[in-house]
Amino acid sequence: PVARAQRPATRAASAVGKLSPLASVSETRGVLRAHGLTTKYSLGQNFLINDAILQKIVTLADVRETDAVLEVGPGIGTLTIALLKHAASVISVERDPDLPAVLAQTLAPWAERFALIEKDALDLTIEDLRAARCADGAPDVSLPNKLVANLPYAVAATVVLDYFEHFPCLESATIMVQKEVADRMAAGPGTKNYGAYTVKLRLYAQPGGRFAVGPGNFFPPPRVESAVLRLDRCTPLDKEGRPLDAATQRAAALMAEAAFANRRKTLANSCKTYFAGKGAEGAQAIELLPRLFEQAAIDPRRRGETLSLEEFIQLGKALLANGGADLRPAR
């Protein structure tokens, strides 16, 4: 009887100093079991179970008491609790209809500073963020200035680029992603991971720190290596030192897609391949290519991975100057 009485006390003592009491296999299983749930592979549910990783995420994201944080895929609230202990408020986006009831329980102590949007993260709009509400009677939450999330890996790359493009309120993103995705996000010119996505992301943000996370830090363990990467919003400038407008950003992104349509080909041939599938506007762009390369002072015999962000910007400006404003990059 004495031993049994001591077990709860020992367990409670072990949680002292933890950023999130849910960061363990036993607690995660217990919460899921209490609600009759299991992990859903189809939704990419891998729950963090290492409190030290949560500490590193919050530190890398530099979450402060004045911050309003946006989180995608809160799960049972493991990272959310850690964020709420440091931030002014948290807005989480969750598509699993079984989890709002779980979050209402696990996040009850912070209900006045937590808002949940039940929606697919890919469909999130700025209007959704403006309409987000905390518990009844609590003040409305502010628009988020930081994205901090253990992202569903299948949509991670799309979410990050989309949010930087459409949510100008976001100053930074500190996200858990698959290692290979982090490599693409942080790649530099001339490397194998540098591609169209890297260039498009760099039009909005640049890497600001990173650390590795092994499969054993999750329940259930994923079959891939992970990394937490911080990205800080930046404002690219053109050669004259002026901030890029939205049209130039889109044009530069389009030229990046064209340059990497076939990365083994020269710029000229890859761009021809890309624009050949763009209808009448694409045919016009193909005719313009020699002029674009000349105006941007770029040798068309080079390959896309050799171009810097500034050179893609020059190609985008040349495209706009020659009537290519109607062409759009992929989402």
**Contact assessment for residue 138 and residue 179, using Cβ atoms and an 8 Å cutoff:** no
Amino acid at 223: R
**Contact assessment for residue 145 and residue 167, using Cβ atoms and an 8 Å cutoff:** no
Task: Give pLDDT tens digits for 284-311.
Answer: 899 999 999 999 999 999 999 999 999 9
From 42, 113, 116, 112, select the one nearest 76 (Cα to Cα): 116
Beta bridge partners of 218: 48
Task: Give pLDDT tens digits for 26-40.
Answer: 999 999 999 998 777
Task: Give pLDDT tens digits for 219-242.
Answer: 989 899 999 999 999 988 887 888
Domains of the chain: 10-233 (3.40.50.150), 246-321 (1.10.8.100)
- Measure the CA–CA gap between 186 and 232, rounded to whole angstroms: 12
**Contact assessment for residue 249 and residue 327, using Cβ atoms and an 8 Å cutoff:** no
Task: Give pLDDT tens digits for 37-63.
Answer: 877 766 667 899 999 999 999 999 999
Give the pTM: 0.90
Task: Give pLDDT tens digits for 116-166.
Answer: 999 999 999 999 999 998 876 666 778 999 999 999 888 999 999 999 999
State the chain's mean pLDDT as an integer: 90
What is the gyration radius of the CA atoms in the chain, in angstroms? 23
Q: What percent of the chain has a predicted confidence (pLDDT) above 70?
A: 91
Query: Average pLDDT, stretch 81-107?
Result: 96
E runs forming strands in 119-165: 146-150
- Measure the CA–CA gap between 113 and 261, rounded to whole angstroms: 45
- Measure the CA–CA gap between 69 and 61, rounded to whole angstroms: 10
Residue 2 is predicted with a pLDDT of 30
Nearest-5° angle of CA 87, CA 93, CA 96?
A: 135
CA distances from 120 to 92, 152, 203 (A): 11, 11, 25
